[in-house]
């Protein structure tokens, strides 16, 4: 099932999601499959549960855009353990469509998370994967990438979004 993507302005995107405590249930497996379907339908490389209106600490990532099943990742209750180096590049978010901004992020990032069975694992990613770890984990704590751009740019984006909202082009 493909869920609609929740857009900036919905409070679910700006509050910390709940920790997942039940694993390996049919409901969780179905939800994860739906998250991947929703992410691919929206042409994203990552999706966090709050973006489909579900306040639980679950994110999916696939930097291959569905080309390589080995790159499908499930992060449940993720925590960023280590960040090193710097990369500056364009970043966007499915919940803030039509916008992309330069965002400075760590280049090499280690995350600790649980998989669908509740097993804990650690993984280190670089470049795009490092950026996805940070971006999606941020979502689960109610933080959006616009909190990493300058106040000036953020205000400009918010003004443009308000205009779209008023015009009925943001739902």
# chain residues binding Zn ion, by CB under 5 A = 1
Q: Is 93 in the site for Zn ion (CB under 5 A)?
A: yes
CA distance 3 to 43: 13
State in angstroms the smallest separation of the CB of 97 from Zn ion: 10
- List the catalytic residue out of 90, 120, 126, 136: 136
Distance between CA 14 and CA 149 in Å, rounded? 16
Do residues 38 and 6 make contact, with C-beta atoms less than 8 angstroms apart? Answer: no
Q: How far is the CB of 14 from Zn ion (least distance, A)?
A: 12
Nearer to Zn ion, 25 or 102 (CB): 102
Is 136 among the catalytic positions?
yes
Per-residue contact flags (x/-) with Zn ion for residues 43 to 82, judged by CB under 5 A:
----------------------------------------
List Cβ<8 Å contacts ≥24 apart for 41-48: 41/2, 42/5, 42/94, 44/94, 45/128, 45/132, 46/132, 46/135, 46/136, 47/94, 47/136, 48/17, 48/136, 48/139, 48/140
Based on CB atoms, which residue is closest to Zn ion, 32 or 93? 93
Residues with catalytic function: 136
Residues that bind Zn ion (CB under 5 A): 93
């Amino acid at each position: 099932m493909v869920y609609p993507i929740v857009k900036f302005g919905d409070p679910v995107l700006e509050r910390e999601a709940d920790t997942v405590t039940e694993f390996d249930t049919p409901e969780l497996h179905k939800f994860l499959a739906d998250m991947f379907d929703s992410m691919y339908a929206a042409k994203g490389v990552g999706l966090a549960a709050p973006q489909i209106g579900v306040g639980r600490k679950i994110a999916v990532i696939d930097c291959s855009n569905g080309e390589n099943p080995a790159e499908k990742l499930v992060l449940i209750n993720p925590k960023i353990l280590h960040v090193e180096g710097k990369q500056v590049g364009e970043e966007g978010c499915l919940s803030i469509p039509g916008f992309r901004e330069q965002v400075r992020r760590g280049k090499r990032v280690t995350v600790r998370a649980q998989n669908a069975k509740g097993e804990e694992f650690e993984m280190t990613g670089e470049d795009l994967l490092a950026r996805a770890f940070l971006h999606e984990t941020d979502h689960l704590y109610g933080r959006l990438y616009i909190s990493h751009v300058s106040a000036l740019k953020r205000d400009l984006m918010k003004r443009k979004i308000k205009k779209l909202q008023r015009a009925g082009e943001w739902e």
